[in-house]
Structure 1
Amino acid sequence: MKVGVISDTHGLLRPEAVAALEGCERIIHAGDIGSLDILEQLQAIAPLHVVRGNNDLDAPWADPIPDALRFDLNGWEALLVHDMADVPVGLDVNVRLVITGHSHKPCIEWRGERLYLNPGSAGRRRFKLPVTLALLEVHETSMEPRLVSLLE
């Protein structure tokens, strides 16, 4: 299963991001969406899992979007939150994938049998941080994440 992971669009869905997400069977947005239009564009590509970020909290369109979401991804239990600070200290051992955004810093880190994935920011460039998203190949017995740079 090919999964696209995107975060911190802040109202900007780049054509390069849309192109990178084509062919995904699911898309995950880790918050700071920026507008309902972003979700509609992503939903047109593939089914969507989404949480709101701190910049979405005052937007009425984001009221129905949860702050945290737990779901199954091809047999892997996943937790999706915007900010790493919101990951519970006593995280359920069955959660094998933790997806966050917020920092704008891409990160792929295995901690034991658990994958922590932050796709970075796909929206407007902030400071000198890269503009990225992640693609995740989810197999029955493995997950293979990789970052995709959206700007050269």
Structure 2
Amino acid sequence: MTSHTQRSPATRIGLISDTHNLVRPEALQYLAGCDAIIHAGDICNQAVLDALAQIAPVTAVRGNNDIDEPVASLPTRVKLTVQQVMILVVHDIADLGDDPRSAGIDVVVTGHSHKPAISERDGVLFVNPGSAGPRRFKLPISAGMLIVEGAHATAAFDSLLT
């Protein structure tokens, strides 16, 4: 008799940040087919979230440039659980606060710097998808993808423009 381990189907979460009023067609195409989208702040206009919501349910936090309603009313941090992975979303990593591992956080999604980055510290995956909005300096225009399978999460980011 053969035993088969039942794997959880993967959940694809699109990661986007620092759109600053700009919804690029390349970003919408990149996020197409996601199960959910996380926007890590600096949205600036509700129309950005409305466009993303046409693709998948959106979780968003307020960034330092989200000063007009209704985006000004967004929370500054959100925790969500996807399968068995606890995700914390905060715009600026400087506002992270307590040690995420001691709070049971598995993944931290941030924005603010416009620099895409993925790292792991003390068992916590840190992901910044970079900026999908107007180009800043020579930084890439990018977005990311978080794949959750059971209690495991992996992340990647991709340039949206060549």
What TM-score does the superposition give when structure 1 sets the normalisation length?
A: 0.95
Q: Give 1 or 2 for the bigger CA radius of gyration.
A: 2
Equivalent position to 1:52, from 41, 59, 62: 62
3-state SS of the aligned residue for 2:50?
helix
- Alpha-carbon distance in structure 1 between the residues aligned to 2:150 and 2:76: 28
Aligned to 2:149: 139
Q: Over aligned residue pairs, what C-alpha RMSD do you find?
A: 1.1
The percentage of aligned residue pairs carrying the same residue is 44
Aligned to 2:3: none
> What is the deviation of 1:63?
3.3
8 Å contact kept, 2:85–2:152? no
- Alpha-carbon distance in structure 1 between the residues aligned to 2:156 and 2:29: 16
Aligned to 1:121: 131
1:92-131, aligned counterparts within 5 Å?
A: 92-131=102-141
- Cα 1:79–1:106, aligned 2, differ >3 Å: closer, same or farther? same
What TM-score does the superposition give when structure 2 sets the normalisation length?
A: 0.90
- Alpha-carbon distance in structure 2 between the residues aligned to 1:130 and 1:149: 6
3-state SS of the aligned residue for 1:53?
coil
Counterpart code for 2:38: I
> What is the deviation of 1:53?
0.3
1:9-20, aligned counterparts within 5 Å?
A: 9-20=19-30
Equivalent position to 2:73, from 59, 64, 80: 64
Q: Which runs of 5+ in 2 are unaligned?
A: 1-10
- Alpha-carbon distance in structure 2 between the residues aligned to 1:127 and 1:21: 24
Query: Aligned pairs, how many?
Result: 151
- Alpha-carbon distance in structure 2 between the residues aligned to 1:90 and 1:117: 16
Q: Which runs of 5+ in 1 are unaligned?
A: none
> What is the deviation of 1:93?
3.8
> What is the deviation of 1:86?
0.5
